[in-house]
Chain A
Amino acid sequence: MDLLEYQGKQLLERYGMTQSPGRAARDIDAAVAGAEEVGYPCVLKAQVKIGGRGKAGGIKIAESAQQAREHATAILGMDIRGFTVHELWVQRAVEIEDEYYAAVVFDRSAKRPLVMLSTRGGVDIETVAAETPEAIATLHVDPLTGFKPFHGRRLAFEAGVARDVVFAVATLLGQLYAAFCGEEAMLAEINPIVITPAREVLALDAKVTLDDSALFRHPANAALTDLSDADPQELMAVERGLTYVKLDGDIGIFGNGAGLVMSTLDVVAGAGGAPANFLDAGGGAKADSIVAAIEVILSDPKVRAVLVNVFGGITRCDEVARGLIEAVRLLEPAVPFVVRLDGTNDVEARELLTAAALPGVVTEPTMDGAAARVVALAAERSA
């Protein structure tokens, strides 16, 4: 789960990180009230999970309540590269003398946390990494020992941090690592860390990604919401406990097992089609959960045809067939279904489907054949 900037900052604040005071706001009045509390000049920042906010006009400085009102009116509701702004973060403006970069990344390849520090903050760090990798000091931490004060000093000295703030930056790295582990993050990044003319060290922006699998241990984090995430199909799927990802095409996909579903998307694309979604019904899917899943797929108005591709292991194909029959009778879909079932109880499943003689439902013996068939059916309906 990606956090909004202000949610990330509030999380880091709990680990002692110093920041310029700020307030979150979901409407214009709250934004003005927030500006009055933090004082002027202040910055109003659009809270969306995408970069390039400044260039899009989503970050503005206000010198007065009237300006704060004008900017909040302009930014709230604005569309930034496909994301609607529902929230603002109003923060006391700070004077900037230097900008640094710090991050802790869950490094899957090394299977350890990777801590990074650079004195070239405020810009895209991937560009820095590509052009001047020596400008980034890095360290893999043994997670059983943890991040020690000397690690922080080593990184700060290696990165060439100004001598008068070395210890403050090292401390900040320790806090960032503590937050990364304490909240079970996959990424905790501050870009930029700001050094003010008074030589204060402040976290000015925050990007935090949490591990969804660990949210059960962090109920406060699990409750964090982002209104701009609200894709109707994805919300519906979450409520029903399904693994669903919305895609751009017109062929609905129902499958079991993440790998097989990914493979199904590829085979459909290879046959010239465009999948409308990823949907993994999981292991051991029963009839009622299949009805729920089909309902989510059909709620996407772009869907012109549906492919059901199941290999039964724990999942029994006859259960899938029963669920499918129930779904078609209950939902009376206006689009055709192509069904390919193999594995546990597949013969029984095909018999059930034949006996039910559902209108608009055809079976195919192979995955490649089923993909070709569904692509042809979708194309017919778009003609």
Chain B
Amino acid sequence: MSIIVGSDTRLCVSGLTGREGSFHTLNNRAYGTNVVSGVTPGKGGQDVEGIPVFDTFRESVAATDANTAMIFVPARFAADSILEAQDAGIATIIAITEGVPAHDEMLVYNALLRNPGVRLIGPNCPGVLSPGEANVGIIPAQFFKQGNVGVVSRSGTLTYQIGNELAQRGFGNSTIVGIGGDPVPGSSFVDIIALFEADPQTELIVMSGEIGGSAEEEAAAYIAEHVSKPVVAYIAGLTAPPGKTMGHAGAIVSGASGGGQAKVDALERVGVRVGRTPTQVAAIAVEVLGG
């Protein structure tokens, strides 16, 4: 078992005909992901290396039975594309696009609340990889193999770093989920941790957070009440100065909120072990699962 993407994924890519979109889609297909179609308004009828392109998500779903969308369009079109995918009945939407305006993200989030069957991952995320089954996004799959550690992270490269440290110690992954570093991600730590808790393949949950917002504190409260599996955490940006946005639009310590130490404290208070470096996270995982 895996979560969000797997062998039953039927992927439709919005922005397939773009340079980045086609490059990563073909990588995903080469990995074994079932890519069934693409959407680019005005380019219906074309194909990208045999993947048929449609003008609208509705046509794409009708013709190919797509159940998962990957959003690869430029930031100004991303919100529209996400809403089009859900309007066409797609239940899993993974938005890679970075730089999406915060108000767009807020409107999309609140619109999707009215359609509880839809799950949005991202925007500004590296995607979701279930090793051995499917890769949707830009995660370099070669570093990861199938296993029992579920990883959820706000950052791409930091996920690879932690995942690689785990891999060097022999661990594989059930699923790796990048939820993205933006102010209003479609899915939070809580949403993904709940899925890992219910997933029989996952025996350990690794969450990689960072400064800004309160998603890590909310995760801590959720873990205390609802999670029986061990959780190991990492928080990036403990030494970042207040008032500066550290690369991710969401990574800013503002006023009294968003500081890294408060997140570490909240997690440790509920029994989550927090590694001080990515290397330490892997070392703790060895202790917990017995290497």
Report which A residues bind B (CB closer than 8 A): 106, 108-109, 111-113, 126, 142-144, 181, 184, 186, 211-214, 216-217, 243, 245, 247, 255-263, 265-267, 269-270, 275, 278, 280, 283, 311-314, 342-344, 366-368
Complex Cα distance A105/B242, Å?
A: 18
Is the pair A367, B101 in contact by a Cβ cutoff of 8 Å?
Answer: no
Most buried by A among B101, B139, B153: B101
Is the pair B143, A343 in contact by a Cβ cutoff of 8 Å?
Answer: yes
Report which B residues bind A (CB closer than 8 A): 75-76, 99-104, 106-107, 109-111, 126, 138-140, 142-143, 153-161, 164, 181, 183-184, 208, 210-211, 213-214, 218, 234, 236-241, 244-251, 255-256, 276-279
Q: Which residue of A lies closest to B237 (CB)?
A: A262
Given contacts A184-B103, A263-B158, 18 further A-B contacts (CB under 8 A): A106-B103, A109-B213, A109-B214, A184-B101, A213-B102, A214-B104, A216-B76, A257-B157, A259-B158, A259-B181, A260-B155, A260-B236, A262-B237, A263-B237, A343-B140, A343-B160, A366-B279, A367-B279
Is the pair A278, B76 in contact by a Cβ cutoff of 8 Å?
Answer: no
Is the pair B155, A267 in contact by a Cβ cutoff of 8 Å?
Answer: no
Given A213-B101, A247-B241, verify A126-B256 contact (CB < 8 Å).
yes
Is the pair A267, B277 in contact by a Cβ cutoff of 8 Å?
Answer: yes
Is the pair A278, B184 in contact by a Cβ cutoff of 8 Å?
Answer: no
Is the pair A258, B155 in contact by a Cβ cutoff of 8 Å?
Answer: yes
Complex Cα distance A143/B276, Å?
A: 39
Q: Which residues on A sit within 8 Å (CB–CB) of B140?
A: 312-314, 343-344
Complex Cα distance A186/B245, Å?
A: 13
Q: Which residues on B sit within 8 Å (CB–CB) of A368?
A: 277, 279
Is the pair B156, A214 in contact by a Cβ cutoff of 8 Å?
Answer: no
| Shortest Cβ distance from residue B60 to the other chain A in the assembled complex, whole angstroms | 26
Closest 4 CB pairs of A and B: A259-B155, A257-B157, A258-B247, A259-B158
Given A111-B109, A343-B160, verify A259-B100 contact (CB < 8 Å).
no
Is the pair A311, B100 in contact by a Cβ cutoff of 8 Å?
Answer: no
Complex Cα distance A163/B155, Å?
A: 51
Is the pair A245, B111 in contact by a Cβ cutoff of 8 Å?
Answer: no
Q: Which residue of A lies closest to B164 (CB)?
A: A342
Complex Cα distance A270/B211, Å?
A: 17
Is the pair A257, B237 in contact by a Cβ cutoff of 8 Å?
Answer: no
Q: List 11 A-B contacts (CB under 8 A).
A: A106-B106, A184-B101, A216-B75, A217-B76, A259-B155, A260-B236, A262-B240, A266-B237, A311-B160, A312-B140, A314-B138
Most buried by A among B103, B104, B142, B277: B103
Q: Which residues on A sit within 8 Å (CB–CB) of B159?
A: 259
Is the pair A266, B157 in contact by a Cβ cutoff of 8 Å?
Answer: no
Q: Which residue of A lies closest to B277 (CB)?
A: A267
Q: Which residues on A sit within 8 Å (CB–CB) of B103?
A: 106, 143, 181, 184, 211, 214
Is the pair B109, A258 in contact by a Cβ cutoff of 8 Å?
Answer: no
Is the pair A108, B183 in contact by a Cβ cutoff of 8 Å?
Answer: yes
Complex Cα distance A112/B110, Å?
A: 8
Given A111-B184, A126-B256, A245-B245, verify A257-B156 contact (CB < 8 Å).
yes
Given A184-B102, A259-B153, A266-B237, verify A213-B277 contact (CB < 8 Å).
no
Partner of B156 from A213, A269, A313, A367 at Cβ < 8 Å: A313
Q: Which residue of B lies closest to A212 (CB)?
A: B249
Complex Cα distance A106/B184, Å?
A: 10
Q: Which residue of B lies closest to A216 (CB)?
A: B76
Q: Which residues on B sit within 8 Å (CB–CB) of A263?
A: 158, 161, 234, 236-237, 277-278
Q: Which residue of B lies closest to A263 (CB)?
A: B236
Partner of A213 from B100, B160, B164, B213 at Cβ < 8 Å: B100
Is the pair A259, B156 in contact by a Cβ cutoff of 8 Å?
Answer: yes
Is the pair A143, B183 in contact by a Cβ cutoff of 8 Å?
Answer: no
